[in-house]
Amino acid sequence: MGDARASEAAALIWENWRNQSRIAALPESCRPRSVAEGYAAQSALGGLSGWSPVGWKIAATSAAGQQHIGVDGPLAGRLLDGKLHTDGAELAAAHLNMAVVEAEFVFRLADDLPARGRDYTPEDVVAATETLHLGIEVPDSRFEDFSVVGAPQLIADNACTEFFVLGEAVSEVWRGLDLAGHAVSVAINGETEAEGIGANVLGDPRRALAWLADDRIAQGALLHAGEIVTTGTCIVPAAIKPGDHVVADFGVLGRIGVQFSA
């Protein structure tokens, strides 16, 4: 994808993101035709936003997540500091098209993960992890019907990012836990609305992190020390509306919450 086409796609996505508006699809003149072209537009979008990159998100790491956005495999998006919030934040909700929350495991890297001639394993990426955090993602899209536009356009749309709520680092006890079997639940206004386990994230959140390390190498954008990576939803995305209070419960690892303004 030429720089001009990538920039045109990014400008249209950014205009709609900034204005909280939506389009049916990117025009043919700049519509990405491949995953690589989608990432070229995504990279240009990050520069237009003026926000600094702080890490990555992985979208569609579960069957439910893939069905939700109409793709057949994971997608990567950039986490930007202008959309990063802390536990207990109050966020707007009236503009959300997807209007869902997702409960996720988040890894902060201690080391770079460079190309090395072989795939990364879950053990490799855990060894390169500084801390584990809990997260709530509030995804959204600049497309009117995000389930039909396909992976390249969704990647250009930053893999459906909107808000991300990041908790403090959890106890080092996580290193001895079976994250694949770890139960997670989400309560909205005090009522449990969704339950899941870490295995819903590509079989194991650590496996999802290894997938991203390899995918970034393939796309020429390596993972670096200090970056955070949120690995995808452990639950079926739970619907929210303005005024809702959400708590994601990760058992012995703790809880994290977000309030949506009325």
Quote the mean pLDDT of the chain. Answer: 96
State which residues of the chain have pLDDT below 50: none
Residue carrying the six token digits 């926000």? 51
Q: Exposed/middle/buried for 71, CB within 10 Å: 0-12, 13-18, 19+?
A: buried
Which of these, 89, 55, 84, lies nearest to 230 by C-alpha position?
A: 55
The one-letter amino acid code at 81 reads D
Q: What is the pLDDT of residue 221?
A: 87
Residue carrying the six token digits 């702080």? 54
Q: What is the pLDDT of residue 67?
A: 85
Look up residue 122 and give its two tokens.
Answer: 């879950």
pLDDT tens digit string along 121-137? Answer: 999 999 999 999 999 99
Going by the DSSP 8-state scheme, the letter that residue 119 receives in this structure is: -
- Secondary structure class of 127 (helix, strand, coil): helix
Q: Which domains does the chain have, with CATH numbers?
A: 53-154+161-260 (3.90.850.10)
pLDDT tens digit string along 144-178? Answer: 999 999 999 999 999 999 999 999 999 999 999 99
Compute how many other C-beta atoms are within 10 angstroms of the C-beta atom of residue 197.
16
Query: What is the pTM (predicted TM-score) of this model?
Result: 0.96
The one-letter amino acid code at 133 reads H
